[in-house]
Amino acid sequence: MEYVKATMKEIVAFIDKVIDMLKPEQVNTLIDSLIDVYRRGAKVLVMGAGRSGLVGKAFAMRLMHLGFNVYVLGETTTPSIGEGDLVVAISGSGRTRLIVTAAEAAKKVNAKIAAITSYPDSPLGQIADVVVEIPGRTKTAPDIDYFARQILGIHEPLAPLGTLFEDTALVFLDGVVVEIMHRLGKKEADLRARHANIEL
C-alpha cells in the first residue's frame, strides 16, 4: 500500500494547492456562461479525449441532473450546435488535435467555447472565449540519469502522465456544479429526481 497512500496524498496536496491558484474571474465567467445557457434553454456540448473525456462525461452527467440541455461529443444522440450554444472543451495540453479541431468547427457556427486547460496560450486557449486555467503536471524529470536526479533532488510526481490535471479538473468541475446548484436554488432532491431510474 506504500504507493497507494503516497500517490493519494500527492494528488490531494496538489489539488489543495491549485484551489488557491484558481483565478476567480475565469471561474465566474465559466459559471455565468453555463447559467446563461441554462436560462435560455440552449445546448451545452462537453468534449475531451481519453481520460479528460471521462472527466467531461462526469461533468455532463451532473449538468443533466441540474436540468441542462447537455450532450457529449462522440455520442450518437448528440445534435448539431450553433450560435448561442456553449462548448466546454477539456484538454490539459490544449493541443489535442481532435479537441482543437472540434473547437474550431464549433467556432465557425458561432458557438461559445470554454476551455479547461493548463495552457491558456495553447491552440485551444487561443480559440476559446472563456479559459479556466487548471494546472496539471508541472514538472517532469529532465533528461539526465537516475543517480544525477537523486543527487540534485529532482523527482517526478508519483501520479503518471496527465493524472494530476484530470483529477484536479474533475474536482474543480464538481465544485462548479455545486456553485451552480446554489445559484439556481437547486437541491439534491432536484438532482436525484433526474437521476437514471433504469440501470443495469
**What are the residue numbers of the active site?**
166
- E strands, 53-142, where? 69-72, 86-90, 112-117, 130-133
The answer to whether the CB of 176 falls within 8 A of the CB of 31 is: yes
Cell numbers given for 76: 450518437
Q: Look at residue 130 and give its three-state secondary structure.
A: strand
Separation CA 53–CA 43 (nearest Å):
18
The answer to whether the CB of 120 falls within 8 A of the CB of 91 is: no
Sheet holding 112-117, edge to edge: 69-72, 43-48, 86-90, 112-117, 130-133
- Number of CB atoms found within 10 A of residue 48's CB: 27
Residues 6+ apart with CB under 8 A from 68: 34, 37, 38, 44
